[in-house]
Amino acid sequence: MTVSDNRTTTTNSVFLSTGYIDVEATLDGGQAFRWWPEDSGGYRGIVGRRVVNVSETDGGVVITPLDGKSSDGLGHLMLEYLGEDHDIEGFRTRFADDKCLGPALRGYSGLRVLRQDPWECLFSFITSSTSNIPRIKLNVGSVVECLGYSVGPKVRDVTFPEPEVVSGVGEQFLRDLGFGFRAKYLVPAAEAVASGQLNLTDLREATYAEAREALTALHGVGEKVADCVLAFSLDKPESFIVDRHILRALHKWYDLPENSSISYAADWARDYFGDHSSLANQYMFHRERLARRASEWGGVHTARALPEDEN
DNA sequence: GTCCAGGGTGAAA
DNA sequence: TTTCACCCTGGA
């Protein structure tokens, strides 16, 4: 991987030779909720305190700062965010012939697992409980517009509100923003992080089991939400997220025992996929989503996206 | 207009 | 282990 400046142009953008990255599937496919497509192409969002546009290009992505600042340090920041240190090549090799993942890898190879800010990730996935992606984006968007610190020209160009700020505004404020019953989980979680009782950064160094236990100790954080935070922000590639769609996929493609519980299925998948669990999980989730979307449109998605027969 | 599902969790049975 | 309430938004 290399980072090259592009200062000969007036755009001040940075090219990252990451290999192909499917920007839409990666940034706006249910891992993160603050990326918005731009008319001019690519996706606009915030990483740390920087406002950027991320666009696909040959052999990688182009990062363009939209906050008027220079591109110094942007390459490193974005490589880390885009999960560049994940073992994507090892994953591709190992599962090239897998019944479920092989076709997925050939159909849409540019999917990555992000490395997000842990607090934003925790907040977002507590919010995700019995919700859907449009609504999660709506909720997260409204809370950052109200409480975030502006770092760019647009209303959504704001940093994610610190846990101190979220605990300060209280439950009713979040309910009024439309978070519903999740508000009563979000405020205590913010308090735990703000007080230092829960140190999310330390959990990056902790084992998977330790970190998962620390997260599920929070009210409103079960195994599912914990695994999302572990995979998408706490450097735990052995994390495997099971919802009802993934459970169905596991039954369909693998020798998972009949009537396995969500919890059992997650243990089974972690054992089966090992350190490639979070990548396998994301490709499987994406495949199920495309299949579902295709059937809702009354069509078949296998012809284009998947070279092999679905059934 | 009504109905329903949506990347769940916690408490009670 | 299973059932149920919890909020509410968008699409059918």
**B8 C1' – A219 CA distance, angstroms?**
12
**Residue of A69, A99, A184, A224 marked active site:** A224
Tokens of A10: 């007036």
Q: A252 with A182, same domain?
A: no
Spatial CA neighbour of A18 closest among A50, A49, A57: A57
Stated as kind and residue range, the H or E segment containing A114 is none
Do the strands A3-5 and A14-16 form a parallel or antiparallel pair, or are they unpaired? Answer: antiparallel
**B11 C1' – A60 CA distance, angstroms?**
49
List bases in chain C with any atom under 7 Å of a protein Cβ: 1-2, 6-12
Per-residue pLDDT, A294: 73
Q: A227 with A142, same domain?
A: yes
Residue A42 lies in a domain: yes
**Integer Cα distance of A90 and A112 in angstroms:** 13
Q: A185 with A134, same domain?
A: yes
Tokens of A278: 């979070």
Q: A197 with A283, same domain?
A: no
* pLDDT tens digits, A256-302: 988 899 999 999 999 999 999 999 999 999 998 888 777 766 654 44
**DSSP strand E in A48-183: where?**
50-57, 60-65
List bases in chain B with any atom under 7 Å of a protein Cβ: 5-11
**pLDDT at A3 exceeding the cut of 70:** no
Q: A228 with A123, same domain?
A: yes
Q: Give me the mean pLDDT over the A205-233 stretch.
A: 98
Q: A204 with A273, same domain?
A: no
Residue A146 lies in a domain: yes
Residue A224 lies in a domain: yes
**pLDDT at A2 exceeding the cut of 60:** no
Number of domains into which chain A is organized: 3
**Integer Cα distance of A71 and A65 in angstroms:** 6
The SS3 call for residue A52 is strand
Residue A305 lies in a domain: no
Residue A108 lies in a domain: no
Q: What is the CATH number of the domain that holds A6?
A: 3.30.310.260
* pLDDT tens digits, A146-165: 999 999 999 999 999 999 99
The SS3 call for residue A6 is coil
The SS3 call for residue A15 is strand
Q: What is the CATH number of the domain that holds A151?
A: 1.10.340.30
Active site annotation includes A224: yes
* pLDDT tens digits, A164-203: 999 999 999 999 999 999 999 999 999 999 999 999 999 9
Q: What is the CATH number of the domain that holds A251?
A: 1.10.1670
* pLDDT tens digits, A121-148: 999 999 999 999 999 999 999 999 999 9
Residue A164 lies in a domain: yes
Q: Give me the mean pLDDT over the A68-91 stretch.
A: 96
Residue A94 lies in a domain: no
Name the residue range of residue A266's domain. Answer: 244-296
**B1 C1' – A131 CA distance, angstroms?**
24
How does DSSP assign A175-237, residue by residue?
HHTT-GGGHHHHHHHHHHHHHTSS-HHHHTTS-HHHHHHHHHTSTT--HHHHHHHHHHHS--T
